[in-house]
């Protein structure tokens, strides 16, 4: 994208297509090239020395950086309204590098209890082994003041949550973090920067499982973090040292995915609302969890802080686990598969996938029933999706 003197911010669809791509000269390729290389040449030992002294930002080895990764980083940073971004081998790599870059032994983290199961398990099983304490708060942040101590260093939230689709009030959470001097992080995977821009609401860092909507085609595992140049510099150091860097092929797929993010998300939102309304009226469905429904406890908050309600929903089958399993085994257009945010519609039982290795009590605390089905609404014709749900519920 050519630099212009105009300061007006471009729209998300324009940024997604052009940001990070420099096509200044005659004959510049319109498509992005994959720098499929592990290493880069130095012109001289003098340049090597300058790099070692931190005086040169030349590429030397793809784990440290690569031109294709840089395009993906600039594009995501533009969409999130961030100074900088770093792309990673997975969302989990971004989350763990971000937390390890901020916390050390003796520190404490406050995190919402409702989280992607992998993030929850990182906090339950791994951070404590490094002397990092974790205290959980509900999505409504009730009583959060009682959880802060002089050791608390960061606040981590996810909104909407996986899979119960509860929302955290981002402005309230950011204000709390600022008041107590905590670094605030949010997992923006479900909303994407198209529906929600947490940095504009006062958050310090955004993390993503780019495997989902950002890449968007169920063909790559990828992650990212975005925020200030200073914070991203720290996260990048941990990504590089822990070895969680993205592969250039994945970066290409992420760039290509992001180009259509805005149009895909619009369709995901419209179809998810249609599916949620259908399920809400179905006699075999006890409850639908979708922030776009007026019956959802966070509907008003969703209207305030999101520009759309997203493509993810969940519902509780009246027949419990047996009913939910029967339903999942009968879908024909929907696929029975983990992950989310791709072109294909998916159903999954969180107790067997994203939230496996969690006790019955832990599952109840985060709103997951044995008969909870998580639905990722894809880009197929919405009437085909509804017909498929109707026949599978019959
Ligand atoms: C909300 C959320 N955050 C993070 C992750 C982890 O991302 P990844 O699988 O790319 O490591 C997931 C994966 O399912 C997720 O749903």
Is residue 147 in a domain?
yes
Task: Check pocket membership of 223 for ligand 1, CB cut-off 6 A.
Answer: yes
Measure the CA–CA gap between 276 and 299, rounded to whole angstroms.
Answer: 13
Pick from 265, 264, 285: nearest CA to 276: 285
Give this prediction's pTM. Answer: 0.96
Residue 235 shares a structural domain with residue 287: no
Could you give phi then psi for residue 296, rounded to 5 degrees? -75, 135
Task: Check pocket membership of 90 for ligand 1, CB cut-off 6 A.
Answer: yes
Residue 50 shares a structural domain with residue 138: yes
Task: Check pocket membership of 354 for ligand 1, CB cut-off 6 A.
Answer: yes
Instruction: Tell which of 226, 241, 259 closes a domain.
Output: 259
Q: Catalytic residue numbers?
A: 63, 116, 187, 212
Q: Ligand 1 centre and the CA of 107: distance in Å?
A: 24
Q: Ligand 1 centre and the CA of 41: distance in Å?
A: 35
Residue 344, domain extent = 262-393
pLDDT at 7 over 60: no
Residue 325 shares a structural domain with residue 179: no
Task: Check pocket membership of 189 for ligand 1, CB cut-off 6 A.
Answer: yes
Q: Ligand 1 centre and the CA of 50: distance in Å?
A: 38
Is residue 280 in a domain?
yes
Nearest-CA residue for atom 8 of ligand 1: 91
Could you report the per-residue pLDDT of 330-362, keeping only the tens digit for each?
999 999 999 999 999 999 999 998 888 888 888
Task: Check pocket membership of 211 for ligand 1, CB cut-off 6 A.
Answer: yes
Pick from 373, 368, 372, 343: nearest CA to 358: 368
Token pair in block for residue 309: 């309600």
Average pLDDT over residues 17-23: 93
Domains in the chain, number = 2
Residue 275 shares a structural domain with residue 360: yes
pLDDT at 39 over 60: yes
Q: Using CA atoms in the order 308, 312, 317, 320, what is the torsion angle rounded to 10 degrees? A: -140
Is residue 6 in a domain?
no
Residue 239 shares a structural domain with residue 281: no
Residue 266 shares a structural domain with residue 231: no
Instruction: Tell which of 259, 282, 316 closes a domain.
Output: 259
Could you report the per-residue pLDDT of 134-184, keeping only the tens digit for each?
999 999 999 999 999 999 999 999 999 989 999 999 999 999 999 999 999
Residue 241's pLDDT is 98
End-to-end CA distance of the chain: give it in Å, rounded: 52
Residue 160 shares a structural domain with residue 27: yes
Q: Please count the CA atoms within 13 angstroms of the CA of 261 that sit on its side-chain side.
A: 32
Residue 254 shares a structural domain with residue 375: no
Task: Output the domain CATH number for residue 227.
Answer: 3.40.640.10
Residue 128 shares a structural domain with residue 181: yes
Nearest-CA residue for atom 10 of ligand 1: 91
User: To test ligand 1's pocket by mutation, which of 208, 211, 340 has the most ligand atoms within 8 angstroms of CB?
Assistant: 211
Could you report the per-residue pLDDT of 278-335, keeping only the tens digit for each?
999 999 999 999 999 999 999 999 999 999 999 999 999 999 999 999 999 999 999 9
Residue 329 shares a structural domain with residue 221: no
Q: Ligand 1 centre and the CA of 91: distance in Å?
A: 5
Is residue 3 in a domain?
no
Is residue 2 in a domain?
no
Residue 60 shares a structural domain with residue 147: yes
Is residue 72 in a domain?
yes
Residue 206 shares a structural domain with residue 272: no
Residue 365's pLDDT is 85
The ligand 1 atom at the shortest distance from the C-alpha of residue 93 is: 11
Average pLDDT over residues 261-278: 98
Considering the chain, what percentage of its residues have pLDDT values greater than 90? 92
Is residue 4 in a domain?
no
Which H or E run contains 87? strand 84-88
Task: Check pocket membership of 187 for ligand 1, CB cut-off 6 A.
Answer: yes
Task: Output the domain CATH number for residue 277.
Answer: 3.90.1150.10
Instruction: Tell which of 209, 231, 259 closes a domain.
Output: 259
């Amino acid at each position: 994208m050519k630099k212009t003197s105009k300061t007006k911010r471009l729209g998300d669809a324009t940024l997604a297509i052009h940001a990070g791509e420099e096509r200044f000269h005659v004959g510049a390729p319109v498509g992005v090239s994959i720098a499929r290389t592990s290493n880069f040449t130095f012109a001289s030992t003098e340049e090597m020395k300058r790099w070692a002294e931190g005086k040169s930002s030349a590429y030397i080895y793809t784990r440290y950086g690569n031109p294709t990764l840089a395009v993906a980083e600039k594009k995501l940073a533009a969409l999130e309204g961030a100074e900088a971004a770093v792309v990673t081998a997975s969302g989990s790599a971004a989350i763990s590098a971000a937390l390890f870059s901020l916390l050390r032994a003796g520190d404490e983290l406050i995190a919402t209890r409702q989280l992607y199961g992998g993030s929850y398990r990182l906090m339950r099983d791994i951070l404590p082994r490094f002397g990092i304490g974790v205290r959980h708060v509900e999505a409504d942040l009730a009583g959060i003041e009682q959880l802060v101590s002089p050791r608390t260093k960061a606040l981590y939230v996810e909104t909407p949550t996986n899979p119960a689709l509860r929302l955290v009030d981002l402005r309230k959470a950011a204000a709390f973090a600022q008041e107590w001097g905590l670094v605030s992080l949010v997992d923006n995977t479900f909303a994407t920067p198209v529906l929600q821009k947490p940095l504009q609401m006062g958050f310090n860092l955004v993390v993503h499982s780019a495997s989902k909507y950002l890449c968007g085609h169920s063909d790559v595992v990828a992650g990212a973090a975005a925020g200030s140049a200073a914070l991203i510099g720290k996260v990048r150091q941990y990504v590089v040292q822990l070895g969680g860097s993205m592969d250039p092929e994945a970066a290409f797929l992420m760039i290509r995915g992001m180009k259509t993010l805005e149009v895909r998300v619009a369709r995901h939102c419209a179809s998810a609302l249609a599916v949620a309304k259908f399920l809400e009226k179905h006699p075999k469905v006890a409850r639908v969890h979708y922030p776009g429904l007026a019956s959802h406890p966070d509907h008003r908050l969703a209207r305030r802080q999101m520009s759309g309600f997203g493509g993810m929903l969940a519902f509780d089958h009246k027949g419990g686990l047996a009913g939910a399993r029967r339903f999942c085994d009968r879908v024909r257009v929907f696929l029975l598969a983990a992950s989310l945010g791709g072109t294909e519609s998916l159903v999954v039982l969180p107790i067997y996938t994203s939230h496996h290795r969690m006790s019955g009590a832990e599952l109840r605390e985060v709103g997951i029933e044995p008969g909870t089905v998580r639905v990722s609404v894809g880009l197929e014709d919405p009437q085909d999706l509804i017909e498929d749900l109707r026949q599978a519920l019959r």
